[in-house]
Amino acid sequence: MSKSITIALAGNPNSGKTTLFNAFTGARHSVGNWAGVTVERKEGKIEHNNEQINIVDLPGTYSLSPYSLEEVVARNYIVDESPDVVLNIVDASNIERNLYLSTQLIELGKPVVIALNMMDVAEKKGHKIDCKKLSELLGVPVVPVIAAQKKGIQELLNTILEVAKGKISCTPSDVDYGKEIEVKIKETIEVLKDNIHAHKFNLRWLALKVLEEDEVILKTIKVDLSKLQLQEQIAVTSEIALKDDLGSMIVSRKYTHIAKIISKAIKKPKVAGLSTSDKVDKILINRWLGLPIFAALMYMVFGFTFNIGNIFLDLIDGSFAALGEMVGASLEAAGTAEWLNSLIVDGIISGIGGVLTFVPNIAFLFIALGILEDSGYMARVAFIMDRAMRRVGLSGKAFIPMLMGFGCSVPAVMGTRTLEEESDRLTTILVTPFMSCGARLPIYILFAGVFFPGKEGVVVYSLYMLGILVAVLAALTFKKTLFKGEEVPFIMELPPYRMPTIRGTGLHVWEKVKGYILKAGTVIFAASLIIWFLLGFNLSGVSEMPQSIGASIGKVFAPIFTPLGFGNWQATLALITGLLAKEAVVSSMAVIYGLGETVGSAAVDGDVVGFISTLKTSGFTQLSAYAFMVFTLLYTPCIAVVAVIKRETNSWRWAGFSMVYQFVVAWVVALLVYQVGGLLGF
């Protein structure tokens, strides 16, 4: 086998890069019918025709201009790492916009292969694409594929190998920028020729970037623009310079070039009237109907999560109860120590069982959210929310990472890389953890089930909506104080409505459920063990629970929560373990309320989540239970989120600040709920 070949996957957001990456590698990375699913490059290895191929999936970008972090990441990778082939994934059904990036990639001077994806969608729209002609006009190979159906993958890989080995040579056609700009390009190339920092760049591309005043490039090659006086000279000579700056003129000429190519290689039917997608959008993203429809859909999501999920709850609960009884009886018969029996039955099985009982609810929540996402609706929510977000100084684009926060706050914080303005990015990073992640759901199901029977769906819905409201209000506060910045115009591509597939949605759900089960087997296992130990012992050895280490820790911090209605050590201890993972709040409660006064004497016989009956009599009222849920909704999601905030902001100060202010916000809102609720007689 010869030296391995590296290919970089580049393309517009939502062009199917990750789907193609999965088709190549057999991986199951998350794909979504919205922009910004890939914010960090992913790598995979495959073997084709006895050749080792390394595949790097870059974040989706509309251009190679440094407007946002992921565009810089993609560009730097292609320039600095110099992959053997740049595989440009182009959405065949939306070719004009996609070719803008293609022209930039071609100009970079690297070997480019174009994968014309979603050919089926283009054909359905009646687009007839002459791939051979397109290839001739662009000067690079063009291969039609349908990544979702794995069609054309082998042909594509064959072409990539041939280009990498030089068997097919790329003869890219230069964009004609017009006489005045072409003269400037030549002059700039002459100036840059001797620049020692310019050697790794294609000089024509570099000259264009200098003319566009690309700040990152100017810094890299250490060129003082004022010495070149390019703008002034072009302004004198250009007939259209009075209206447009040089950057706009370059963009305009690129689109003229693309339009010429399209007119020669593609035939499109004349569109008469609105498409079905447009007609649906007239209702779903209507100025007045959009928000109420979103609120109604979310209400249906939680109704579905509870009504269907709860059918399975008793079954799983019963299974864990039977398992606990069986293991307990076997250990007793084998004569093992009483503390070990308690550790396994009251600690591990209770803790893990307490969390796994809610797997069906988690699965049904993500089935519902997955269908909304895959259909293309979730991307439209950002558009719907744009008006509200603009009032707080952000754009609807910031709502996309916030929506991702419904799944997990970690990728949601990373998703803020798509935001151009640093102040918008920091604001969104700080408010995204208020969006209720999936890990908090078991807490709501437990407390809503115990204290609000028959109204669980409404209670959980109110918490999700409260999370959005607090996030928006916090964003408003930040934008008026810490992060005053200019408004960035929001231009968003609405993906086409697609029928969700069982495979696609199933994959989403499986990822989440697998993650949840994995957590139960690792961090929840460990948390249950620790809680069991902390509750069974003190510095003198085995102790009664109220005198245990766990109770002592809880009692130190419990007074903080007294004004919120849950100032008991049990709730406090559960909240502390929740910093490890939010599900640990439930597993800790299962152990705390499932244990008797001392290790080995279970408080409740029967079902594993029998701790529920103890929880009912633990001093929580409906109001304090709701305040507890509000607090868990708003305080720091977990250590991983703090760490990812540190990584994304490159500052421990912001990470620490996020922890402290989230705690303060959680405390204040829970206090308001409890005290005002009390005054209103709840």
Partner 1 sequence: MGTFLTIIIAVPIIRYGIYALVKSIKQEIKGGCSGCTGCGVKD
**Closest Cα to residue 92, out of 29, 18, 11?**
11
CB of 591 to partner 1, least distance (A): 13
Nearer to partner 1, 206 or 531 (CB): 531
CB of 537 to partner 1, least distance (A): 13
The span from the CA of 108 to the CA of 669, in Å, is 53
Quote the DSSP letter at residue 682.
-
CB of 30 to partner 1, least distance (A): 4
Nearer to partner 1, 490 or 525 (CB): 525
CB of 544 to partner 1, least distance (A): 22
Nearer to partner 1, 520 or 669 (CB): 520
Nearer to partner 1, 29 or 253 (CB): 29
Nearer to partner 1, 494 or 579 (CB): 579
Q: Regarding beta strands 42-48 and 51-57, do their DSSP bridges make them parallel or antiparallel, or are they unpaired?
A: antiparallel
CB of 584 to partner 1, least distance (A): 10
CA dihedral 285, 289, 295, 298 (to 10 degrees): -50
Nearer to partner 1, 218 or 640 (CB): 640
CA dihedral 572, 577, 583, 588 (to 10 degrees): -70
CB of 524 to partner 1, least distance (A): 9
Nearer to partner 1, 64 or 348 (CB): 348
Q: Which residues bind partner 1 (CB under 8 A)?
A: 29-30, 38-40, 42, 331, 334-337, 340, 343-344, 348, 407-408, 410-411, 414, 508, 511-512, 514-523, 525-527, 529-530, 580-581, 638-641, 643-644, 646-647
How many other C-beta atoms lie within 10 A of the C-beta of residue 389?
Answer: 23
- Per the CB < 8 A criterion, the answer to whether 433 and 662 are in contact is yes
CB of 344 to partner 1, least distance (A): 7
Quote the DSSP letter at residue 58.
P
3-state secondary structure at position 7: strand
DSSP 359-393: HHHHHHHHHHHHHHHHHTHHHHHHHHHHHHHHHTT
- Per the CB < 8 A criterion, the answer to whether 591 and 551 are in contact is no
**CA neighbours closer than 13 Å in the CB half-sphere of residue 566:** 28
CB of 242 to partner 1, least distance (A): 47
What is the total residue count of the chain?
682
How many other C-beta atoms lie within 10 A of the C-beta of residue 506?
Answer: 13
Nearer to partner 1, 30 or 618 (CB): 30
Nearer to partner 1, 488 or 526 (CB): 526
CB of 157 to partner 1, least distance (A): 23
Sign of the torsion formed by the C-alpha atoms of 76, 81, 86 and 89: negative
CB of 414 to partner 1, least distance (A): 7
**Closest Cα to residue 32, out of 382, 514, 289, 347?**
382
DSSP 390-412: HHTT--GGGHHHHHHTTT-HHHH
Backbone φ and ψ for 168, nearest 5 degrees, come out as -115, 125
Nearer to partner 1, 643 or 660 (CB): 643
